[in-house]
Amino acid sequence: MREFKRLTPYRAALEMVLKDVSELEEVEKVPLSEALGRVLAEDVVSPIDSPPFDRSAVDGYALRAEDTFQAREYSPVELKVIDEIVAGDESRVKVEPGTAVKLTTGSKIPEGANAVLMQEMAERDGNVIRVLRPVAPGQNVAFAGEDVRKGEVVLRKGQVLRSQDLALLKSIGFRSVKVKRKPRVGIIITGDELIEEFDEDALRSGKIMESNSIMLTGLVRQYFGEPVFYGVIPDDEDATRSAIGRAKKECDLVLVTGGSAFGDKDFAHRFVKLLFHGTTIKPGRPVGYGERVFIMSGYPVAVFAQFHLYVKHVLAKLVGARNYEVRVRARLTERVSSQLGRHEFVKVWYENGEARPIKKKGSGIISSLVESNGYIEIPEDSEGYLEGETVEVVLY
């Protein structure tokens, strides 16, 4: 098998890919219940103040703060309770000097009141309370618009919607939201040695269980896409050509595993006009790209690395996603070495501010992925990091 004559530096290859794709124009309107993880297609402006009125932050008594200024535990101030309401109700009376309204958390502040006394700070006797401590104007009041102001941009285009974002949208009256269409991502798995159903005899005779499809399906869904599985294709030139051709017509992006090197049965790269083939990443060096098609390794760990180093960034650009990675700073628990000229993907377990490198090596060792929850990158011009050095971890 012939070797790669030239390896494209990782950053240069990534730049080529990102220049080759454009953000999708199509937009969908989906109910909030289906919007988790989707990418906002436009800025969201609040149509209302939230909260829409001044409301109580505690259970207690709405009153005029100035009526309490002289109150002390040894010399309480007496006020008359003229109404009682609960959250969702509105008092029809006006709080005048010397009066108060009993209310619960979330209740609208009645006219004339400018503060709320916590009920623990009062002693009640019939319709009279004895105020034991003074309160300041505005104390225990959540003012209208304190959370969100009418006309305020509350979420920006490109936001990957989280549960808290959906809660905010619902709180200001939204029932649905405009999001980017999910890119259709074709997944083609190649290899004569692969089987999809467990068969001990076949495994003993040299076959292996196919696992890339389920992993890529999950990764595509995690990063904004809609996976379309075209099946496990044998190492056959016509079958490979046909599957790639069909997927290119039907999808926005195509991922092909296997056939990325130069063996006699490595056909995938023959049917795509590649911008590059072979990069400096480790693992996953044989990756190639062109015509919205990634030709990827057959080994699962290499596929996983190729996805995170290339494919997820393409999917993010297709939907215009911002802040789609979680990156944290961590102390490396031991030294990690690398070879100059390689952009290395190093699996780690991140916990309590520390990153522990996973010792298991090999592009086929899936358990090394299971035992990790993030990765660090070592660029081509570095020989690695020292124990105790601070590194950036990308979590997955």
Pick the CATH number of 55-142 from 2.30.40.10, 1.20.1090.10, 1.10.10.60, 2.170.190.11: 2.170.190.11
How far apart CA 52 and CA 284 sit, in angstroms, is: 55
CA distances in angstroms from 157 to 180, 284, 315, 318, 336, listed in the order given? 10, 33, 16, 13, 39
Specify the CATH class of 27-50+149-180 in words: alpha beta
Residue 267, burial from CB neighbour count under 10 angstroms (0-12, 13-18, 19+): buried
Given a contact cutoff of 8 angstroms between Cβ atoms, the answer to whether 216 and 307 are in contact is: yes
Question: So what CATH class is 10-25+182-319?
Answer: alpha beta
pLDDT band at 364 (very low <50, low <70, confident <90, very high): very high
pLDDT in tens, 304-324: 999 999 999 999 999 999 999
Give residue limits of the domains in the chain. Answer: 10-25+182-319, 27-50+149-180, 55-142, 326-395
Least confident of 39-43, 204-208, 320-324: 204-208
CA separation for the pair 371, 351 (Å, rounded): 12
Position 93 confidence tier, pLDDT thresholds 50, 70, 90? very high
- Cβ burial 122-140 (10 Å sphere, 16+ → b, else e): beeeeeebbbbebbeeebb
Rounded to whole angstroms, the Cα distance separating 294 from 307 reads: 9
CA 250/CA 271 separation, integer angstroms: 16
Residues comprising the chain, all counted: 396
Band of pLDDT at residue 1, cut at 50, 70 and 90: very low
pLDDT at 354 (0 to 100): 98
Count of CA atoms in the C-beta half-sphere (13 A) of 374? 21
Residue 264: predicted pLDDT: 66
Q: What residues contact residue 360 under an 8 Å CB cut-off, 6+ apart?
A: 367, 368, 371
Q: Is 50 a residue whose pLDDT tops 80?
A: yes
Handedness of CA 216, 217, 218, 222 (dihedral sign): positive
pTM: 0.90
Strands (E), 147-262: 153-155, 176-180, 184-190, 194-195, 208-209, 226-233, 253-257
Classified by CATH at the fold level, domain 326-395 comes out as Beta-clip (2.40.340)
pLDDT in tens, 130-171: 999 999 999 999 999 999 999 999 999 999 999 999 999 999
Are 70 and 134 within 8 A, CB to CB?
Answer: yes
Identify whether 183 is preceded by a cis peptide bond (ω within 30 of 0).
no
- Which range, of 26-30, 53-57, 106-110, 264-268, averages the lowest pLDDT? 264-268
Judge whether residue 126 has pLDDT over 80: yes
Yes or no: say if 114 and 104 are a contact pair by the CB < 8 Å rule: no
| pLDDT one-digit tens code per residue, 104-114 | 999 999 999 99
Q: Write out the two tokens for 116.
A: 């709320």
